[in-house]
Structures are given as C-alpha cells and as structure tokens.
Amino acid sequence: ETDAFTVKKIEEAYKILQDHPECHSLLKKHLTKSVVDQLKYKKTQLGATLYDVIRSGVHNLDAGVGVYAPDYESYKVFAALFDPIIEEYHGFGPNDKQPPVDLGEGRTGEFPPLDPAGKYIKSTRIRCGRTLKGYPFNPLLTSDDYLIMQQKVKSALESVQDKDLKGTYYPLQGMSKETQNKLIADHFLFKEGDRHLQHANACNYWPQGRGIFHNNDKTFLIWVNEEDHMRLISMQEGSDVGTILDRLNRGIKSVETKVPFARDDRLGWLTFCPTNLGSTVRASVHIKLPKVSARKDFKEICEKLNLQVRGIHGEHSESEGGVYDISNKARLGLSEFQAVKQMYDGVKELIQLEESAK
C-alpha cells in the first residue's frame, strides 16, 4: 500500500491542479476528488503509484494531457483516471476494443502522392511505437535494462534483410553534440530534455541505452529508448504516402520476428503515453497552406477533420515560415491503415480548401 508521504503528495497535487486557472490538461479535468480517493492508496506490482502517473502533468501545468503509465498494469490499476482521458482524447470508450492489426500491407497503392506537383507538402513521415515484451516503461527501467534492451534491438537490426532498410545503430552515448544537434535539426532524431518526459521520470540514466538506427538514406529510422522502447519511422521528401507506409511495414515485419512486442487485447500496442496506444501511428506531413492556415478557425478546421497540428520541430514547438506538421489525431480504436487514412483524407481536404480559397 502507498505510504502516507506519497498519499499526501497526491492530495497536494490535486489542489495544485484545481487552484491553477491556466491549467487545462485532461489530467486536471479527470482527476476529480473521488478519483483521487479511489486511487491514492493503489500500487502496481512493480510499485507504481498514482503520483508516478500524474507527476509530469503536475510539474507541467501547461500540458495537454499530463499523464504517463509507468508500467502496463497502471492502465488497469489506475483505469478510473486513464479511461476518461483515453475516451476524451481518442473517442475510445471503456467497452471499446482496438481492432486487429491491419498495417495495410498490399494496399499502400491506395495512398498515391497527396501533392504530386509538390506545391504544398515538403515531406511526409509515418511513425509507430513499440514496447519490448517483459519490460516496464521508462520510469521503472534499471540501468542494466537500458543496456540489455539496446543490445537486443541492435542485434535484431543487424539481421534486417531488405537492402533499402539495412543500416547502422548509433548510440547517443559517445555521439558528438554536433552530430546529435544536426540530426535533431534535420528532423531525424528525438530532442533532448523534454520537460514532460523528465518530470515523468522517463530520462533516468540518460543517454545510456538511447540511440538511433537509420539506413543510408535516412528514410527508415528507429529511435531506441526515448519515450517508448522503440519508435519505428519511415520518412522522405514529398508526399508519396504509399511508398513511405510500405517501407515502414517492411521494417516492422523484419524487426518483430526478432523482438516480441507487448500488446493488450483492449488497448492494442502498448505505449508509455496514453495518446499513442492502439495503432500507435502518427502519420504527418510538413505542409504550407498560406490561405487556410491564416484563417482564425484553422485549428478548428483541423480538429473537425481529426487532424492534429504541431510546429516545425514537433510537439510543443511553433510553426516556422508557415510550415505546419499535420497528422492524424486518433491512434486508438482504429487500425494502422485507418490511422494513415485519417491523415490522408484530412490533408487532401485541406489542400482542396487551400485551392478553392480566394
């Protein structure tokens, strides 16, 4: 049972959230007094408490969501908090179930280039997240876990067969700052020092066990032990969504035979952040839509199309030079193929709006 000191911190956290008028996170909205009382003494078998779930959102009052799961059992033990947050974010109710895996293999031809003339879209990226079976998420990983997991992923990647996917693993430890910063600026590598992750206790032993694998062209990349155990990414210039999805799918297939991934019957592929559960797919374009993005209701238009708008350097960053990162918003309750289609159809609509705007 949770110790008195932690219970007190949870009660204080509740007050901090409620007393802060500028805080609009889903955590604040759904951490009601009755949820606090229902969950404050609970612990997972690995020892995670409600405080571990909410600490990121308590230290970052500007967060949109504010919670992370220290281990998968947390999604069950703290369901009274996670379920309403998941429902509001994804539109996925407590009795809904993630559909079976459908990567869209053999159907990537349904996604011909969105912007063949290259008038609006600079680049396209599709990423998914995976968790290694048998390991908790970041806050509960030990120093040894990081090294062992890194080794497992690294060896799995050494046996990738497809010629265009073959590449090299570059650990963050020992990478020069110059190389690291260039990879980040060029949108290939995760940034460092994300305060949401730091306050979730997700950056322990950093940079140990973290790194990036990529092929020669940097069109197939894998992030190791950043927010999730693995992020598999396919990206390239232009808007050829089908080709990018096909490459990602081949990548997933070649890795999953070597390292088994954790999946839940109801929640699908498991991830550290509840916004990424299910398909885990975020398909995005870097796009310039001068007329549409100048409209006051740009964010609302995107929201209605189930699209999420981010800045040029990813989440919590700003747009630069009129370029936005636009992606599917929902990842849970729809298949991988449907998640990509949500972005595809939505962006197609935005381009039509741009073209018909005066």
Enumerate the active-site residues.
127, 227, 231, 273, 275, 282, 310, 315
Site residues for ligand ADP per CB under 6 A: 123-125, 127, 187, 231, 235, 282, 284-286, 310, 312-315, 325
What one-character DSSP code corresponds to residue 109? Answer: G
Q: Which of 44, 198, 218 has the alpha carbon at shortest distance from 136?
A: 44
Residues 6+ apart with CB under 8 A from 53: 67, 68, 69, 70, 74, 78, 81, 82
Q: Which of 222, 315, 262 has the alpha carbon at shortest distance from 75?
A: 262
Partner whose binding site includes residue 43, from ligand CIR, ligand ADP, none (CB under 5 to 8 Å by kind): none
Query: What Rg do the C-alpha atoms of the chain give, in angstroms?
Result: 20
- Least distance to ligand CIR from the beta carbon of 202, Å? 10
What one-character DSSP code corresponds to residue 106? Answer: T
Give the residue with the Cβ less far from ligand ADP, 97 or 314.
314
Q: Which of 321, 309, 318, 351 has the alpha carbon at shortest distance from 121?
A: 351
Q: Judged by CB under 6 A, does residue 328 bind ligand CIR?
A: no
Site string for ligand CIR, 270-309 (x = CB under 6 A): ---x-xx---------------------------------
Give the residue with the Cβ less far from ligand ADP, 61 or 312.
312
The interface with ligand CIR within residues 217-256 (CB under 6 A) comprises: 227
**CA atoms lying within 13 Å on the CB side of residue 333:** 17
Give the residue with the Cβ less far from ligand ADP, 234 or 249.
234
Give the residue with the Cβ less far from ligand CIR, 115 or 194.
194
What one-character DSSP code corresponds to residue 98? Answer: P
- Least distance to ligand CIR from the beta carbon of 136, Å? 17
Contact with ligand CIR (CB under 6 A): which of 39, 50, 65, 283?
A: 65
Tell whether the torsion through CA atoms of 288, 289, 295 and 298 is positive or negative: negative
Which range touches ligand CIR (CB under 6 A), out of 6-14, 57-65, 232-240, 259-267?
57-65
- Least distance to ligand ADP from the beta carbon of 20, Å? 25
Partner whose binding site includes residue 65, from ligand CIR, ligand ADP, none (CB under 5 to 8 Å by kind): ligand CIR
**Cα 330 from Cα 87, distance rounded (Å):** 11
Q: Which of 142, 351, 98, 348 has the alpha carbon at shortest distance from 241?
A: 348
Contact with ligand CIR (CB under 6 A): which of 58, 63, 302, 339?
A: 63
**Cα 172 from Cα 195, distance rounded (Å):** 19
Residues marked as binding for ATP?
123-127, 187, 231, 282-286, 310-315
Residues forming contacts to ligand CIR in the complex (CB under 6 A) are 56, 63-66, 196, 227, 273, 275-276, 315
